Amino acid sequence: MPVFNAQLPSGRFTKDQKRKLADALNQSLVQALNLPQEDRFIAITEHADGELYLHPTYMDMQRTESAIIVSVMLGPHHPSENKKRLAATINKLVVEAVGLSPDDIFIAIIPVPRENFSFGRGELQLEPAGASS
């Protein structure tokens, strides 16, 4: 049920690289959190010049013009060690998949209660039984 959003600078990644990025994000869930391969919900968005801003040296990083933002909405039940493992796995697999520097991958893990996800039909499939009013 995690949902990824990857924000990329426009024109810096080929269609094949975007597919490899999506595959790497999906595989990070499999490796870090033992989630099924089919749990794949990923949006990749490109931003033109003047639409994506990442400070080049904040937190002692050396970011290039290819730096990206990856956010993942994830159930809040994951302990800190799982989130650390997920962030490290995302970084490793994205570096391997598209050749970015580890400094070029900004990751935000956003906890979202499970009952706030709808997989379709306007239904909250993960809502606890009896929680509906």
Whether residue 57 is contained in a domain is answered as yes
Average pLDDT over residues 1-29: 98
Range of the domain at 8: 3-116
Neighbour count for residue 29 (Cβ, 10 Å) = 23
The CATH number of whichever domain residue 40 belongs to comes to 3.30.429.10
Return d(Cα 46, Cα 41) in angstroms, integer.
17
The length of the chain is 133
Whether residue 131 is contained in a domain is answered as no
Whether residue 61 is contained in a domain is answered as yes
Q: Express each pLDDT in 109-130 by its tens digit.
A: 999 998 998 899 999 988 877 6
Decide: 83 and 109 in contact? Cβ < 8 Å: yes
Q: Is the pLDDT of residue 131 over 70?
A: no
How many domains are contained in the chain?
1
Whether residue 24 is contained in a domain is answered as yes
Q: Express each pLDDT in 35-82 by its tens digit.
A: 999 999 999 999 999 999 999 999 999 999 999 999 999 999 999 999
